[in-house]
Structure 1
């Protein structure tokens, strides 16, 4: 009975509740546990109608997750099945408010975070929704689209449009089981910064995407990805995440202190955890950087790196150098002409201090300055890596040199070691080449810590260049000498330092070491150590030596000597070799050569065995080797000349100090002498010496003759007053001689008239054997009657018409110790007739030549 009554009560209650629902139930307040509803109205037509003014929901401890997606769509399924309309004006939960409107498949949701307006309906097993508005208020994102959900297979797919700030785009997504795929794309927009700020990026990464890269327009070409649901959490598959953004009218600021790189557009691609900048037609200060790329790698870990790859096909000048200098990379090269292919690669850590750089420069034909030194390059490669600059296969070709250069340069130490494989090195001008090196390797070092300094050990050369002066030091001229076609004054080495401030005027100073020379002091000491200095200009050379006692001016072709002696023959020999060398190199002379003028003061002028001891002299050496010279010694004039092979000297009434060096004989003293001497030194030269006064003494033949006379009583009277140790007093005399090939002197005639006797004779001196052979006739000026009584014998004496006597002497043997003996009368008669006549005739009737 109780069970029946209970069932009847429940049926009646259900019927009553159902009838109330049919009529509609309205409650002001309903409170169940933590749920609170105000202004509730429920009615049942075919489906339920629910209205409420305010609903308070308890705070949920569960976190939103993708596991509730299916539950949500299950609730929507039942919502569509059992409810006709739902209107909840205000729902309060978790510090948020929300309103719900649902009627005739229309669904509207609104909260402080989002707003959704759309329709939802069920078609069989498919739940379909059209969402004209989904507005995420916090991020200013507006979306619209369609959604389908397979209630049986539980497969979700959606697509539609979105607006994010000023970006309009399209999206699609799908969920199948635990796998989710999605994709996005957009039209052009301009506000990238607001979108990027929605993501939590490292500041260095953000600055490269937003601050350092500026564009007028952006376009999301695609963003696709997928992930999986695991334990209620969506896990992104970053390996599958890919995106492309088109940047238009861009500026890329690599460094704050540098101008930006400009590009009409580039594509920013995300893949494999990295961002890749694919630049289209980039330029830097008007220079094309076509092929350049930028990338940011390892965004998902702590080893995030910025990779720069900058390419250029342009002249390597200040613009490109400043770009490298911004990264503390200094390549001390300045390209003056031509183009190079430059590759600059930088690896910069964005989350730590690591950085690494690489530069590759491929040269084609161009002119490059290293400091102030010009290198004409035909091709080659220069690389920078980890502080080292490597020069590889740098082919150089210039008027003066050609070859291949290799080496390494330490940027930190500012030092380098190079090896030049020289095909040729030549120095000179159109008229003359003075340095030639062929097919040799030349190592050299470079130091530019304080200034540019180049050392070439092979040539003992040091080249220094600073802001004010360039200096070249040659410390051992012997190392340079093998490469000089004309070593010139370099005999046995030396050194020189050359300096210039403007490469127009050069000063030089050094020392020459010589084994032979044409400069000597008055004691005949050859100057083998020659200190010199001078100035060289474009068409002018001033050369000084021996504290400026020697001066040579090239423009005027003039040498000045002061208190320094000059060997003209040796000098001309050097010049002749130079002339011969020049003739073999060029068939024609482009300009007329000047005569060389040599001016001397207190200087001896030597030519072979002949010396001009003068107060001053003036010599003209013509281009063909002919010579005209005139000297003055205490008013005495000496003339010297050479024409072709004919050599001649004329000295008019000169004193003995000028005569002695001319004839290399000091036996004639205190007189006046006229010398005439001419001929071919290599064949025969004829000479004549005219003597006026003076004495003859102080030579071996004279001394030995005097000693011999002292042993013969009959001749002893000759000593006083004329023939003695005080010398043979001469009134006048003349000697005629010939020199044969500078080997032998033949005296064709000797005549000397003294106060006590007259000497006449002939003979010869062999210069090679150093022997003498003279036959002399000596005529006494005394009366015969006073002399005959004292003679022990008269076999070697002839009597003259004036009662003078003549005896003969023969001088033979070596020049160092000549032997003297008397000649028989018959031998005297064998002298040539004119010599004999001079001896036998009276002094008053001496005939002239």
Structure 2
């Protein structure tokens, strides 16, 4: 057994010595195959250390190396082990599970080449560390070439590199330190066109990558970049990264829909997982936005987001708004001039894509445009928070029409706003007319600009719509604006609604619905209190009309032209205000009524009134004039009039000259009538007391109280200071009336014909002869004297009946009167029943006009058949008569007998009459008569005897006398 052991050991030693011999001499093996290993052209020799040279070594073993960094870690740390045993190693091809290597190691060079790396370095060794003077280190998977010095502490397993790197066009210095845990580095770069190379090392959010690689263009230069990788998995620890880069001649795009911002220099800083883009003298479309920057927060962490900070002193114009609107909020306001200090932050959350905006815009004085509304703002401050725009305590001016303090909160999502305003003044006016003038009014307001700009002043019930064509103002409660509107006050409109459609201040359309109006207009007997009106004001010219077209107005600075259709006008002369109208005024009335001072009213058609500097002209048709005039006994159906008012004198006449009227300043009225009759109502006599009237008539009669007609071929009536003078002529008749200021009248009628009297009294009272009248009195009582000459009185029933009664009374049975009665009847051709013929007569009277009682205090008439001597009272109000008369009758008999001297005295007595006393009472048409005919008839024989006895004495007395 012992021998076997000795023999085995000797065999082993022999092998070793043989192996050493061969190693010292060098051994070449063309090919050898071992389990899992295949070698070609292997040369191995032992000098001081082993020398290994092989063309190809294939090892079927799985490799755990996935990248160049991992390969460096594994291979570099094995260099000391390799050099402990090998003096020199050269393997042309080392293949391990498909990964090929070229290895060349000795004391002067370390060369390694595989699919991940290519290292060429000069190593230096000591007991603690290895130094490699890198000729090159090429990381094939990263396409990075390193040169410099590597220091490896294999006791601490630390590596330090200080050198340079290059990758395509990227070069720079690089320092890194690696251990078993971390790989820390610091580098810079040369000038680059972009930094897209970072994509090969760091995976970021798509939006972040867009900002880093696409949104910032220019010449890049990496000033410094430090960071850390994990050596376990070689993943970057981004929170450890810090860097600073510059981009010269930069172009930054804030949003894909925006143009680039141009800047001289962009300073890009990365720290604390935030990436900052600071710009030097940036401009966006020639807008200075100095101070603006972009910050990307939490690049590698949760909640990654970006802040776009925009700072500018430029106006808030469309270009600036485009930046804001690119991220969502659409501001309704555009600044047209001036400057604004703007600070705006737009934040975008990369995970949720939520966009938030906040900003402050301050301006001293500038013009803004809200949709189509252009206004001026002073000391304006606008605060933006997402979709909310707060205009704070800003002074707003609109041309010369508006100055207000505005506090408004705008919601850009709903295109609406609410707020408060204090109107210092709001003035809407045309060139000649003030429409609304509000001062110091407060109101809440709401705005809707989704389509047009609609502003509602809630406390004033007023809204304003601004669109691309007009500014529309709707005033729904004019009562709230009445005190502030000269136009409404002039028109007397304080209830209703008014809409203005302002194309320009010289081109305004309007609509109005007004009520409770105090207008001098009537329809169907009721005052017009409500109007629906439309119209326009263009270059100072106003055209307006009611919806029913019954009122049409055309007004210029020179002319007011108003057409009134089927509408009545009520005029209070003292309140017409015509003296305030400076323009030429034209009025046309169609099928209307005009009432003046509640005294004069007349229907008109096609009736024109025109007032100018020379006066007033009028013409047209007065229909069914309510005038006390008749033509051919009929009321007038139309008057075609023409007239004028000038020099304070009104002149009117009809086309046929049947009527002419002149009214002077002192209200003196001159009226001339031709072929027209006048109706006079004595009840209205008092209305004439303060008038001054001259009335001339030709072929014109006067009809009193619609009953008594005074025929006249010509008359003249003058009323002045309550004094009246009246002269009327009809054929040969004359009537004259005088009245003093106290109402005392003197009336004289000369040669009054029966025609005139009968027409006046409306009865056939007289025929033939003449009547003369003289009377005087006051308003209540007239006294006078009437003289009749050769008249026949007809149609007085009581008088006719009395005459008939006296001439045919059956009482006259006395035989003495049989013959006289027969003679009287024969002489007068029978007893007349149609009147009483007066040869001459006289009547004195007192007429009580209040009680309508005619008192004939003395009646003395000489008639053909009867003489009257007495008095009578006629009560016309009660239609009664009370009279006492001495009646002389049988005039034919007495006229015959009295011519016989002795016989006349014996039969008639000294008065040479047959007389009796008659009492007349009762109804004026059917009176009762009481006479002494029975007594007188019985006494006649005795009287005759008595007169026969006294005849001698009578004869003697007559002789003596």
Q: TM-score range by the shorter chain?
A: 0.7 to 0.9
TM-score by length of 1: 0.74
Say whether residues 1:112 and 2:144 are aligned partners. Answer: no
Q: Residue 584 of structure 2: which of 596, 599, 604 is its match?
A: 596
Asked if the contact 1:779/1:806 (under 8 Å) is kept, the reply is: no
**2:725 match:** 750
* 1:26 and 1:41 in contact (8 A); partners too: yes
**Equivalent pair of 2:328/2:355 in contact (CA under 8 Å):** no
* 1:499 paired residue among 501, 508, 527: 501
Partner of 2:104: helix, strand, or coil?
strand
Contact 2:332–2:412 at 8 Å: present in 1 too?
Answer: no
Distance 1:492 1:750, change over 3 A: farther
RMSD: 4.7
Contact 1:408 1:418 in 2 (8 A): yes
Structure 1 residues 183, 125: closer, same or farther in 2, change over 3 A? same
Deviations 1:33-57 (Å, cap 9, x if unpaired)?
A: 5444443333344444332222233
Partner of 1:846: none
Between the two structures, name the one with larger relative contact order (CA 8 Å, sep ≥ 6).
Answer: 1
Alignment of 1:65-84 (within 5 A): 75-80=78-83, 83-84=86-87
**Corresponding position: 1:435 with 2:426:** no
1:657-806 correspondence to structure 2 within 5 Å: 672=659, 674-679=661-666, 686-687=668-669, 695=677, 697=679, 699-701=681-683, 725-737=707-719, 746-753=721-728, 758=735, 760-762=737-739, 774-781=743-750, 796-797=783-784
Query: 1:461, 1:795 → 2: CA distance?
Result: 73
Provide closer, same or farther for how the CA distance between residues 153 and 109 of structure 1 changes in structure 2, counting only shifts above 3 A: closer
Deviation at 1:531, TM superposition (A): 4.1
In the alignment, the residues of structure 2 paired with residue 268 and residue 824 of structure 1 have an alpha-carbon distance, to the nearest angstrom, of 136
Shift of 1:509: 3.4
**Equivalent residues of 2:396, 2:404 under 8 A apart:** yes
Q: 1:620 aligns with which of 605, 611, 621?
A: 611
In the alignment, which residue of structure 1 is the partner of 2:172?
169
Cα distance between partner residues in 2 of 1:87 and 1:789: 176
1:810 positional shift: 8.8
8 Å CA contact 1:147–1:157 kept in 2: the answer is yes
Q: CA deviation at 1:119?
A: 0.2
Among 137, 142, 153, the alignment partner of 2:145 is: 142
Aligned residues of 1:559 and 1:599 also touching (Cα < 8 A):
yes
Q: Tell me the residue number matched to 1:479.
A: 480
1:312–1:352 CA distance, 2 compared to 1 (3 A)? same
Shift of the 198–497 alpha-carbon distance from structure 1 to 2, 3 Å rule, reads: same
How big is each residue's C-alpha offset from its partner over 1:186-220, in whole Å with a ceiling of 9 and x where there is no partner?
Answer: 1112353355245434444333333x325243222
Q: Which residue of 1 aligns with 2:259?
A: 259
1:575–1:84 distance in 2 versus 1, CA, 3 Å: farther
- State whether residues 27 and 45 of structure 2, in contact with CA within 8 Å, keep that contact through their aligned partners in structure 1: yes
User: 1:33-432 residue pairs with structure 2 within 5 A?
Assistant: 34-60=36-62, 75-80=78-83, 83-123=86-126, 125-150=128-153, 155-175=158-178, 178=181, 180-190=183-193, 192-210=195-213, 212-226=214-228, 237-301=237-301, 303-358=303-358, 360-398=360-398, 399-428=400-429
Deviation at 1:747, TM superposition (A): 1.3
Change (3 A) 1:193 1:410: same
Q: Relative to structure 1, is the Cα distance of residues 327 and 796 closer, same or farther in structure 2, using a 3 angstrom cutoff?
A: same
1:142 deviates by 0.9
Residues 222-246 of structure 1: CA distance to partner in whole angstroms, max 9, x if unpaired? 22124676xx556755432212333
Checking the alignment, whether the CA contact within 8 Å between 1:490 and 1:514 is kept in structure 2 is no
Residue pair 1:217, 1:248 contacting (<8 A) in 2 also:
yes
**Cα distance change of structure 1 residues 165 and 4 upon mapping to structure 2, 3 Å threshold:** same
Asked if structure 1 preserves the Cα contact closer than 8 Å seen for 2:333 and 2:369, the reply is: yes
Q: Secondary structure at the match of 1:315?
A: coil
**Is 1:135–1:143's contact at 8 Å kept on the other side of the alignment?**
yes
Structure-2 change in CA distance of 1:775 and 1:200 (3 Å): same
Pair 1:175–1:730, CA change in 2 (3 A): same
**Distance across 2 between alignment mates of 1:257 and 1:721:** 99
**8 A contact 1:340–1:362 mirrored in 2:** yes
Shift of 1:118: 1.0
- Quick one: structure 1 residues 274 and 476, their matched pair in 2 at CA, closer, same or farther if it must change by over 3 Å? same
Change (3 A) 1:54 1:401: same
Equivalent in the alignment of 1:529: 530
Q: With structure 2 as the length reference, what TM-score do the two structures score?
A: 0.66
Which structure has the bigger radius of gyration? Answer: 2
Cα distance in 2 for partners of 1:393, 1:226 equals 53
Distance 1:824 1:468, change over 3 A: farther
Q: Contact between 2:318 and 2:334, CA under 8 Å: does it hold in 1? A: yes
* Shift in Å, 1:32: 5.9
Distance change >3 Å, CA 59–CA 90, structure 1 → 2: same
Contact 2:680 2:702 in 1 (8 A): no
Unmatched tracts of structure 2, length 5 or more: 622-638, 687-700, 754-768, 790-840, 858-961
Structure 2 vs 1, CA of residues 22 and 675 (structure 1 numbering), >3 Å: closer, same or farther? Answer: closer
Give the 3 Å change call, closer, same or farther, for CA 167–674 of structure 1 in structure 2. closer
Deviations 1:145-204 (A, max 9, x none): 101234556553211111112100111112467555321111112353355245434444
> What secondary structure, in the 3-state scheme, does the structure 2 residue paired with 1:678 have?
coil
Cα 1:167–1:495 shift into 2, 3 Å:
same
Report the alpha carbon displacement of residue 675 of structure 1 after superposing the two structures with TM. 4.0
Distance in 2 of aligned mates of 1:607 and 1:499:
37
Q: 2: CA distance between counterparts of 1:482 and 1:720?
A: 55
Q: Which residue does the alignment assign to 2:491?
A: 489
Q: 2-side partners of 1:463 and 1:372: how far apart?
A: 12
* Rounded Cα–Cα distance in structure 1 between residues aligned with 2:682 and 2:346: 95
Between 503-512 and 96-105, report the one with greater CA deviation: 503-512
Please give the secondary structure, in 2, of the residue aligned with 1:186.
coil
**Aligned-pair distance for 1:537?**
0.8
* Distance in 1 of aligned mates of 2:169 and 2:17: 58
Partners of 1:556 and 1:236 in 2: how far apart? 89
How many residue pairs get matched? 744
Name which of structure 1's ranges 8-17 and 29-38 shifts more when overlaid on structure 2.
8-17
The question of whether the paired residues in 1 share the 8 Å contact of 2:770 and 2:788 is answered with: no
User: Structure 1 unaligned runs (5+)?
Assistant: 580-593, 659-670, 680-684, 705-718, 739-745, 765-772, 812-817, 826-849
Inter-partner Cα distance in structure 1 for 2:54 and 2:673: 160
Distance 1:754 1:328, change over 3 A: farther
Per the TM alignment, residue 73 of structure 1 is displaced from its structure 2 partner at its CA by 6.0
Distance in 1 between residues matched to 2:855 and 2:617, nearest whole Å: 44
Quote the Cα distance in structure 1 between the aligned partners of 2:496 and 2:705. Answer: 55
Structure 1's 607 and 177: CA in aligned 2 closer, same or farther, altered over 3 A? same
Give the match's secondary structure for 2:134.
Answer: strand
Residues 653 and 245 of structure 1, relative CA distance in 2, 3 Å threshold: closer
